[in-house]
Amino acid sequence: MVYSDWRHSTLLRCVLCGGCAEPRFGLCSGCARDLPRLDSACATCAIPLPPVPAGPTRQCPACQSRPPAMAASRCAWLYGFPVSPLIQRFKYEGDLGAGHALASLAAESLAGMAESLDLLVPMPLHWRRFWQRGFNQAQLLAETFSRAWQLPTLPRTLRKCRASDRQQSLQRRQRLRNLSGSFLVRGDVAGQRIGLVDDVITTGATMETAANALLAAGASRVVALALARTP
């Protein structure tokens, strides 16, 4: 499995229903409309919030009391059906078609963030995880955003220098402790406005730990970008 497969894949069938798909996205228009858009969320951590009439930028109580390292977080969708199985197919089964479809649609949905960024940095994998999976899903997403938004992506800026225990069953504070000292910044990021790219934001602990490392290295601003946010 190599990155060229991702770049040159042309999808003629919808990755969800099997019907005729828009080649640029890999989903038919009906399935694309069915994806659960994240229209009402905290501007800082992207956690879903109850819908209200359009108004000032909203923050959840947790971000008001303890602002995270990220200046903002944006996700295209809620992590629910049918987005969640597509992400799992991409991430764990190597289904690059599903990943291409989601990345292309998300690049269009999140395009408004591009003007406030200087470069994109994908969330790294520890080398053991990379060896097991064969690719870094965040890097493939960042490359798609990069081409759509005409922004550089620097895949080696962050290094996962310490393997951490699996995060799925941990609470946010436990995740932060688990991730302490996990990321190393390589290269000059001084003064840069960085879009930090990953597939899913769960508690935001991984993004926050990586954002803190980038800010400590001199980045002026870090914005978290992901396909989906868990409720």
Mean pLDDT, residues 82-88 taken together: 96
Coil, strand or helix: which one is 11? coil
Residue with tokens 């910044």: 185
Domains of the chain: 3-48+67-229 (3.40.50.2020)
Residue with tokens 């944006």: 74
Q: Does 178 have pLDDT greater than 80? A: no
Q: Does 4 have pLDDT greater than 80? A: no
Are the CB atoms for 197 and 171 separated by under 8 Å?
A: no
Least confident of 18-22, 174-178, 213-217: 174-178
Q: What is the mean pLDDT of the chain?
A: 87
How many angstroms separate the CA atoms of 12 and 53, rounded?
39
Q: What is the pLDDT of residues 154-167, one digit of tens each?
A: 999 999 886 655 55
Q: What is the pTM of this model?
A: 0.87
* CA–CA–CA angle 105, 15, 81 (5° rounding): 75
Q: What is the pLDDT of residues 14-27, one digit of tens each?
A: 999 988 887 778 88
- Residue at 195: amino acid letter: G
Residue with tokens 């390292």: 69
Q: Does 56 have pLDDT greater than 80? A: no
Q: Which residue has the higher pLDDT, 173 or 138?
A: 138
Q: Look at residue 2 in the predicted model and tell me its pLDDT.
A: 39
How many angstroms separate the CA atoms of 202 and 125, rounded?
17
Name the token pair of 11: 């999808």
- Residue at 38: amino acid letter: L
HEC string for 172-224: HHHHHHHHCCCEEECCCCCCCEEEEEEEEECCCHHHHHHHHHHHHCCCCEEEE
Helices (H), 110-183: 127-133, 137-149, 172-179
Angle between the N-to-C axes of helices 83-93 and 96-109, in degrees from 0 to 180, rounded to the nearest 10: 130
Q: Does 38 have pLDDT greater than 50? A: yes
The two beta strands, 158-160 and 183-185, are antiparallel
